[in-house]
């Protein structure tokens, strides 16, 4: 009934119900103070645990442990404390309503969650570099393993559940010394609490556990690991005599390994006891030992351990790949959002700058209207309009000239590259042609009499089939004169074509030279009198034309602004600009010494 419920449990349940999801883990940590209150007796403690289960707080702890522990407040420290709280809430609790749900579903799920948490803490402890991080992860791992031991100590049937869980085997199969010793102590507690658990599990699980213990004895020289593995094997042999037969049959080199490698390491009493049991089993029923298989047994144990480790190391690859792709996608989305925010901020800043500039411009105009006299206002406005028009025209011409120049520059680079490639290819072919040796003259072979008669017969037959037409001497001379005339015309035309080709090549070379001079010309601010001489012509007609063009340009700049702002001028192509305006924008550019 509600009246008998502990008020602290009621208050905490109400607070969790009204809180946000991310605040629930920190609220659940308050259960530790409620459970460990010094004023509680045995009955009161059981009643509080029953209330916690009835109000769903114990289930909340299990749900929080199944979430991503890195996203919790306090991360792994909070997860370890919740694991400890969950084990204390379950031990001493007797559920009367629907006990099958609690004993067969809830408790195995809690064991599985604690083993998953322990596996993650072990992995981060192995990857940690700093000593402080390694100590913290090892401390939290010890808390989680103690919670597991406390849980199956209160519910003995969970010992077989822990031993049959694949994650327990993954935790036990490790090369790390600290976590391996902790997991072997957990296995020791399992055997101490439920001595018959090894006979309850599957044979494959039993063999995997024993293979790992024997592998640790054969692969390490650490006394702590060797002592823990030896004590476990001794405990197994004392609890189950039938498993001693399995030792002698499956691990034939175990006696030699114990006597040679682990004698005199500080735990000789356990080693000698285990050896006595093995020798006793050997002498009592099985006869002689096949010594030639001892080395093979050790190799098999090492190989099985290696294969199991290799298989377990491949399991996290899929999870790692999924996490990497998820983080990359999330990083891409964050970058996209950041860029979008920056663009919006830039647009807002540009808009504010434009508004500020327009406001300053209007304020300056108003200030000038107060200063300038009314009679000078039209003249001032006209000058401002002319300056504005000149500025707009200057920027437009600069933009158009830069655009044309960049287009011509790219095409010129491509043209020069093609010329260089063609020149190199021609030189290569010419050298190859010169190096080719001339074939010696070979005198044709003469015809035999039989070949000569056969050839003469073929000629006579062809003449009979194709008789030649009769042609007079005058017709022959006329055809000869026509051929001579056409040959003379061809020679004359080829000579003219050759001169035209030479002229084209000369003009093309001149254009290339002019373009190179223009591209390498210095800016107006860096121009000297020597540079001006390269662009001045010595020809009087050319200089006169340039002077006339310059005067026309000066007159054009003095025109009123309203004569220059027409649509036909701003968007006019170079080939339709009138002669009385800018008639030679590019045509009046001359290279020194050339017409």
In terms of phi and psi (left: phi > 0; alpha: psi -120 to 50; beta: otherwise), the region of 32 is: alpha
**For residue 329, what pLDDT band results from cuts at 50, 70 and 90?**
very high
Q: Which among 207, 108, 210 is positioned nearest to 165, based on CA atoms?
A: 108
Q: How many helices (H) and strands (E) does the chain have?
A: 25, 0
Q: 355 or 44: which carries more pLDDT confidence?
A: 355
Across 546-555, average pLDDT:
83
Q: At what angle do helices 107-127 and 177-193 cross, to 10 degrees?
A: 160
Query: 382-424 pLDDT, tens per residue?
Result: 888 898 899 999 999 999 988 888 888 888 888 899 999 999 9
pLDDT of residue 444: 64
pLDDT of residue 534: 65
Q: Which among 105, 79, 76 is positioned nearest to 90, based on CA atoms?
A: 105
Share of residues in the chain with pLDDT > 90 (%): 14
Q: Measure the CA–CA gap between 243 and 573, rounded to whole angstroms.
A: 102
Residue linked to tokens 């290569």: 428
Residue linked to tokens 């001493």: 92
- Does position 593 have pLDDT exceeding 60, yes or no? no
Instruction: Give how far Cα 320 sits from Cα of 128, 201, 316, 371, 520, Å.
Output: 17, 32, 6, 75, 58
Residue linked to tokens 């406390």: 150
Q: Which two tokens stand for residue 118?
A: 């322990």
- Does position 588 have pLDDT exceeding 50, yes or no? no
Q: Measure the CA–CA gap between 345 and 337, rounded to whole angstroms.
A: 12
- Does position 143 have pLDDT exceeding 70, yes or no? yes
Query: 415-439 pLDDT, tens per residue?
Result: 899 999 999 999 999 988 888 765 6
Helix-strand-coil split of the chain, %, nearest 5: 80, 0, 20
Q: 452 or 584: which carries more pLDDT confidence?
A: 452
**For residue 587, what pLDDT band results from cuts at 50, 70 and 90?**
very low
Across 84-96, average pLDDT:
80
Q: Which two tokens stand for residue 190?
A: 């399992």
Three-state DSSP class for residue 55:
coil
Q: Which of 141-155, 252-266, 378-392 shows the lowest mean pLDDT across its residues? A: 252-266
Q: Which among 593, 577, 318 is positioned nearest to 585, based on CA atoms?
A: 577
Q: Measure the CA–CA gap between 135 and 131, rounded to whole angstroms.
A: 6
- Does position 549 have pLDDT exceeding 90, yes or no? no
- Does position 536 have pLDDT exceeding 70, yes or no? no
pLDDT of residue 440: 62
**For residue 481, what pLDDT band results from cuts at 50, 70 and 90?**
very high
Q: 467 or 462: which carries more pLDDT confidence?
A: 462
Sequence spans of domains, the chain: 1-194, 202-282, 539-587
Q: Which two tokens stand for residue 479?
A: 């055809």
Sequence-separated (6 or more) residues with CB below 8 Å from residue 176: 122, 125, 126
Q: 560 or 430: which carries more pLDDT confidence?
A: 430
pLDDT of residue 573: 38
As assigned by CATH, the class of the 1-194 domain is mainly alpha
Sequence-separated (6 or more) residues with CB below 8 Å from residue 531: 521, 522
Across 55-62, average pLDDT:
77
pLDDT of residue 4: 60
- Does position 292 have pLDDT exceeding 80, yes or no? no
pLDDT of residue 284: 63
Query: 162-206 pLDDT, tens per residue?
Result: 888 888 888 888 888 888 888 888 888 888 888 888 888 888 888
- Does position 446 have pLDDT exceeding 80, yes or no? no
Residue linked to tokens 């030479």: 502
With beta carbons less than 8 A apart as the criterion, state whether 143 and 81 touch.
yes
**For residue 346, what pLDDT band results from cuts at 50, 70 and 90?**
very high
With beta carbons less than 8 A apart as the criterion, state whether 150 and 91 touch.
yes
Instruction: Give how far Cα 507 sits from Cα of 165, 380, 427, 503, Å.
Output: 90, 52, 23, 6
pLDDT of residue 331: 92
Q: Measure the CA–CA gap between 212 and 169, rounded to whole angstroms.
A: 9
Q: Which of 102-116, 202-216, 288-302, 511-525 shows the lowest mean pLDDT across its residues? A: 288-302
């Amino acid at each position: 009934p509600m009246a008998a419920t502990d008020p602290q449990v009621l208050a905490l349940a109400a607070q969790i119900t009204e809180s946000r999801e991310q605040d629930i883990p920190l609220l659940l940590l308050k259960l530790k103070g409620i459970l460990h209150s010094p004023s509680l007796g045995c009955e009161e403690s059981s009643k509080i645990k029953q209330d916690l289960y009835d109000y769903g707080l114990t289930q909340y702890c299990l749900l929080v442990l199944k979430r991503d522990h890195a996203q919790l407040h306090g991360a792994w420290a909070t997860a370890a404390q919740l694991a400890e709280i969950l084990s204390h809430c379950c031990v001493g609790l007797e559920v009367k309503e629907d006990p099958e749900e609690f004993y067969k579903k809830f408790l195995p799920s809690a064991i599985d969650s604690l083993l998953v948490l322990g596996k993650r803490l072990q992995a981060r402890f192995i990857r940690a570099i700093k000593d402080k991080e390694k100590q913290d992860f090892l401390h939290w791992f010890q808390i989680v393993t103690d919670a597991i031991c406390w849980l199956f100590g209160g519910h003995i049937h969970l010992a077989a559940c822990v031993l049959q869980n694949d994650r327990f085997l993954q935790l036990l199969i490790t090369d790390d010394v600290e976590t391996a010793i902790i997991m072997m102590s957990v296995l020791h507690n399992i055997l101490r609490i439920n001595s018959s658990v090894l006979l309850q599990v599957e044979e494959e699980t039993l063999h995997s556990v024993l293979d790992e213990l024997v592998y640790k004895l054969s692969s390490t020289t650490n006394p702590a690991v060797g002592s823990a593995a030896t004590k476990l094997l001794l405990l197994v042999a004392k609890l189950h005599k039938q498993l001693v037969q399995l030792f002698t049959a499956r691990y034939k080199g175990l006696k030699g390994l114990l006597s040679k490698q682990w004698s005199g390491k500080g735990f000789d009493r356990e080693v000698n006891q285990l050896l006595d049991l093995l020798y006793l089993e050997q002498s009592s029923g099985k006869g002689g030992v096949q010594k030639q298989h001892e080395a093979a047994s050790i190799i098999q144990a090492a190989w099985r351990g290696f294969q199991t480790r290799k298989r377990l190391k491949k399991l996290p690859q899929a999870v790692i790949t999924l996490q990497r792709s998820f983080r990359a996608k999330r990083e891409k989305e964050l970058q996209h959002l950041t860029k979008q925010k920056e663009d919006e901020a830039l647009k807002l800043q540009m808009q504010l700058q434009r508004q500020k500039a327009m406001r300053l411009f209007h304020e300056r105009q108003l200030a000038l209207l107060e200063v300038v006299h009314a009679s000078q206002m039209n003249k001032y406005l006209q000058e401002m309009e002319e300056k504005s028009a000149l500025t707009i025209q200057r920027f437009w011409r600069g933009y158009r000239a830069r655009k044309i120049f960049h287009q011509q520059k790219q095409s010129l680079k491509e043209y020069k590259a093609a010329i260089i490639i063609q020149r190199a290819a021609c030189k290569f072919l010419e050298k190859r042609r010169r190096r080719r040796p001339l074939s010696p003259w070979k005198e044709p072979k003469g015809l035999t009499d039989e070949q000569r008669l056969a050839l003469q017969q073929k000629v006579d037959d062809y003449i009979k089939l194709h008789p030649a037409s009769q042609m007079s001497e005058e017709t022959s001379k006329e055809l000869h004169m026509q051929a001579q005339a056409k040959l003379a015309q061809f020679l004359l035309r080829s000579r003219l074509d050759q001169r035209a080709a030479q002229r084209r090549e000369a003009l093309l070379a001149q254009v290339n030279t002019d373009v190179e001079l223009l591209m390498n010309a210095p800016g107006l601010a860096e121009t000297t009198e020597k540079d001006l001489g390269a662009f001045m012509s010595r020809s009087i007609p050319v200089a006169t034309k340039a002077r006339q063009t310059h005067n026309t340009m000066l007159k054009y700049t003095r025109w009123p602004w309203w004569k220059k702002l027409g649509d036909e001028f701003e968007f006019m192509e170079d080939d339709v600009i009138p002669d009385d305006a800018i008639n030679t924008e590019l045509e009046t550019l001359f290279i020194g010494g050339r017409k």
